[in-house]
């Protein structure tokens, strides 16, 4: 393939060499298919990013575990210095005394303090003061994390599970569909499509910026079929399904939009491997008018029908 093809990118930031077939640069969920090894132990963790990005259920599990660990630790500390230093605990049963100390710790760490149990003596008061300060800092941190999670825009753009090569005007086109399944409004939606293919004479890869029929829409209330016309200047011109598979092609999609709810720009990514392209099929139109409005059937995003190529 000639090196002067329109849209060729010299460096895309994803590397031009590959040592095996079937290499996927970008996962379907938009994450990069990269694992970093041989890193120093402390550089493997980014607690803020992890707590902000992880699923809600895992976030709350970590918060609950941290809450119980702190209270168990301080309850053990109160038992160790002697429960006689806590007024209101008169039990000789160690298990019951520990349970009472645990509940006192829970009241202290939350600065609640019912008053039935209170520390007496310098040692118990020092421990209670340290715990209350730790509780204030911990809940301030947890509150900030919760706010950060709510205030972080999360793009939920849904991509068709496969792309198609279908007739487009007098030629053919590479197409895929996207939809915003939520009620928030996205504005100034821009699409970017890049093709990665192995070179004919080596294991290295070339990257091509593919021109789109419509690269940007102002409003995005419906589904959007994104089309790359396969013209003479396209790197896909004169390539059939077997050639695209042989070249281990990967189509990398990047979407940028303005989220009206958060008043921020959001970014979404996905990709299609050569095996995820259906040749000689087109997407079914899934928008219809009903009761004076438009209905978008999101569940039919992947529905296609066969058609002859040009």
Residue from 222, 214, 219 nearest 180 by CA: 222
pLDDT at residue number 167:
94
Does residue 186 carry a pLDDT above 50?
yes
Q: What is the pLDDT of residue 3?
A: 46
Mean pLDDT computed over 233-260 = 91
3-state secondary structure the chain: CCCCCCCEECCCCCCCECCCCCCCCECCCCCECCCCCCCCHHHHCCHHHHHHHCCHHHHHHHHHHHHHHHHHHHHHHHHHHCHHHEECCCCCCHHHHHHHHHHHHHHHHCCCCCCCCEECCHHHHHHHHHHHHHHHHHHHHHHHHHHHHHHCCCCCCEECCCEEEEEECCEEEEEEEEECCCCCCEEEEEEEEEEEEECCCCCEEEEEEECCCCCEEEECCCCEEEEEECCCCCCCCCCCHHHHHHCCCEEEEEEEEEECCCCEEEEEEEEEEHHHEEECEEECCCEEEECCEEEECHHHCCCEEECCCC
Give every CB contact of residue 94 below 8 A, 6+ residues apart in sequence: 79
pLDDT above 60: residue 232: yes
Of 20-34, 67-81, 159-173, 277-291, the poorest mean pLDDT is in: 20-34
Among the candidates 124, 151, 178, a domain finishes at 151
Q: What pLDDT score was predicted for residue 90?
A: 73
Q: How many CB atoms lie within 10 A of CB 26?
A: 23
Clarify whether residues 92 and 49 are in a common domain: yes
Q: What is the structure's pLDDT at 19?
A: 46
Residues 139 and 171 both lie in one domain:
no
Same domain, 169 and 279: yes
The rounded distance, in Å, linking the Cα atoms of 260 and 262 is: 6
270 lies in the same domain as 186: yes
Give the pLDDT confidence score for residue 153 in this predicted structure. Answer: 76
Which position has the higher pLDDT, 245 or 2? 245
How many distinct structural domains can be found in the chain?
2
- Select from 128, 151, 174 the last residue of a domain: 151
Whether 161 and 273 map to the same domain: the answer is yes
Query: Is 13 or 233 the better-scoring residue by pLDDT?
Result: 233
Residue 256 lies in a domain: yes
Kindly state the average pLDDT of the residues 48-61: 86
| 146 and 159 in a common domain | no
pLDDT digits (tens, 9 = 90+) for 283-303: 998 888 888 888 888 899 999
The pLDDT of residue 214 is above 80? yes
Question: What pLDDT score does 1 carry?
Answer: 43
Q: Considering the domain boundaries, does residue 246 fall inside one? A: yes
Burial classification of residue 90, based on how many CB atoms lie within 10 Å of its CB (0-12 exposed, 13-18 middle, 19 or more buried): exposed
Highest mean pLDDT among 61-70, 77-86, 105-114: 61-70
Query: Quick one: average pLDDT of 213-237?
Result: 93
Q: Is residue 23 part of a domain?
A: no
- Tell me what the pLDDT averaged over the chain comes to: 85
CATH number at residue 262: 2.60.40.1400
pLDDT-based confidence at residue 92 (cuts at 50, 70, 90): confident
Specify whether 292 is located in the same domain as 275.
yes
> Is 113 a member of any domain?
yes
Mean pLDDT of 1-11: 53
Asked if residue 32 is part of any domain, the answer here is no
Q: 87 versus 32: which is more confidently predicted?
A: 87
Residue 111: C-alpha distances to residues 100, 104, 137 (Å):
16, 10, 12
2 confidence band (pLDDT: 50, 70, 90)? very low
- Is residue 168 located within the same domain as residue 302? yes
Mean pLDDT of 144-156: 82
Question: Which residue among 86, 120, 151 closes a domain?
Answer: 151
Question: Is there a single domain that holds both residue 202 and residue 124?
Answer: no
Domain ranges, residue 176: 155-306
Mean pLDDT to the nearest integer, 140-164: 87
pLDDT digits (tens, 9 = 90+) for 114-141: 778 888 889 989 999 999 999 999 989 8
CATH of the domain at 146: 1.10.287.70
Domain identity same for 110 and 225:
no
Q: Is residue 35 included in any domain, yes or no?
A: no
Residues 56 and 184 both lie in one domain: no
In a domain, 88, yes or no: yes
- 108 assigned to some structural domain: yes
**190 and 290 together in one domain:** yes
């Amino acid at each position: 393939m000639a090196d002067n093809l329109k849209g060729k990118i010299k460096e895309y930031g994803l590397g031009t060499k590959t040592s095996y077939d079937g290499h996927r640069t970008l996962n379907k969920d938009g994450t990069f298919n990269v694992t970093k090894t041989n890193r120093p132990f402390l550089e493997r963790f980014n607690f803020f990013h992890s707590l902000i990005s992880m699923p809600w259920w895992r976030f709350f599990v970590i918060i609950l575990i941290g809450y119980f660990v702190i209270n168990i630790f301080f309850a053990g500390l109160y038992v160790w210095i002697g429960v006689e230093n806590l007024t209101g605990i008169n039990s000789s049963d160690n298990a019951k005394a520990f349970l009472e100390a645990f509940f006192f710790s829970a009241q202290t760490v939350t600065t609640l303090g019912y008053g039935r149990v209170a520390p007496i003596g310098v040692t118990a008061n020092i421990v209670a003061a340290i715990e209350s300060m730790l509780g204030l800092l911990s809940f301030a941190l947890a509150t900030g994390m919760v706010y950060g999670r709510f205030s972080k825009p999360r793009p939920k753009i849904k991509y068709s599970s496969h792309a198609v090569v279908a007739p487009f005007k007098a030629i053919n086109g590479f197409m895929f569909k996207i939809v915003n399944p939520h009620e928030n409004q996205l504005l100034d939606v821009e699409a970017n499509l890049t093709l990665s293919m192995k070179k004919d004479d080596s294991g290295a890869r070339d990257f091509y910026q593919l021109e789109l029929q419509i690269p940007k829409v102002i409003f995005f209330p419906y589904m959007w079929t994104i089309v790359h016309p396969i013209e003479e200047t396209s790197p896909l011109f004169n390539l059939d399904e077997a050639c695209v598979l042989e070249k281990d092609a990967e189509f990398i999609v990047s979407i940028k939009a303005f989220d009206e709810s958060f008043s921020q720009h959001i970014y979404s990514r996905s990709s299609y491997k050569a095996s995820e392209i259906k040749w000689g099929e087109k997407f079914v139109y899934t928008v219809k008018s009903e009761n004076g409005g438009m209905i978008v059937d999101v569940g039919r995003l992947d529905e296609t029908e066969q058609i002859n190529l040009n």
